[in-house]
Amino acid sequence: MKAELVLATGNLHKVKEIKEILGKTSYEILSALDFDLPEIDEDQDSLQGNSFKKAGIVATTIKKPAIADDTGLFVDALDGQPGIFAARYAGEGCSFADNRAKMLRELAGETNRKAYFATVITLCDADGKIVGQCEGRMKGKIALEEKGTRGFGYDNIFIPDGYDKTFSELSSEQKNEISHRKEALKKISPIIEKYFENLDL
């Protein structure tokens, strides 16, 4: 029987993306969608804090190791906003479309459109203790208008450095090669593997 790792997210887009990036593993990947879990309030003041809180609560609730990510979008001309509040930039209960529309309004006429995504991923053991925590970043800029239909969040207004297309216009393979989540997962993947190896000792 394979060891099990739980992704502390109920976001189908994110689950699919993480599974694609991790590829074939020695452990089985489950997600919060496979369990009846409480809603977790992301009330910490950093990506690190939110990531740890989510992974810790899920791990201790179901008694299995868990990983959780927290992602922020930091825009130079907006003094780093929306940062950790990227998911609710346009207010509580807002949609991805609301967030994108607000950002494009805020940046209307702005020439400095530099921005970067940052993702922090935390691995917690079944007792909720941190085993590893890693960060990935991806630099780019905010587009003048929405383009593309793939992806989610801010993907169709974010143009990665070195590209002339938005994240949403790229294939999932292209996206997974350069994404902030890919970088963070690449860093934490050997930590996960080592953790499960040690469990077998």
Q: Sign of the C-alpha dihedral, residues 195, 53, 28, 135? A: negative
φ/ψ bin of 93: left (φ > 0), alpha (ψ from -120 to 50), beta (otherwise): left
Q: Which pair of tokens denotes residue 162?
A: 């070195």
70 labelled catalytic: yes
Q: Which helix (H) or strand (E) holds 53?
A: helix 47-62
The CA distance from 62 to 148, in Å, is: 38
**Catalytic residue among 34, 45, 70, 125, which?**
70
The catalytic site residues sit at 70
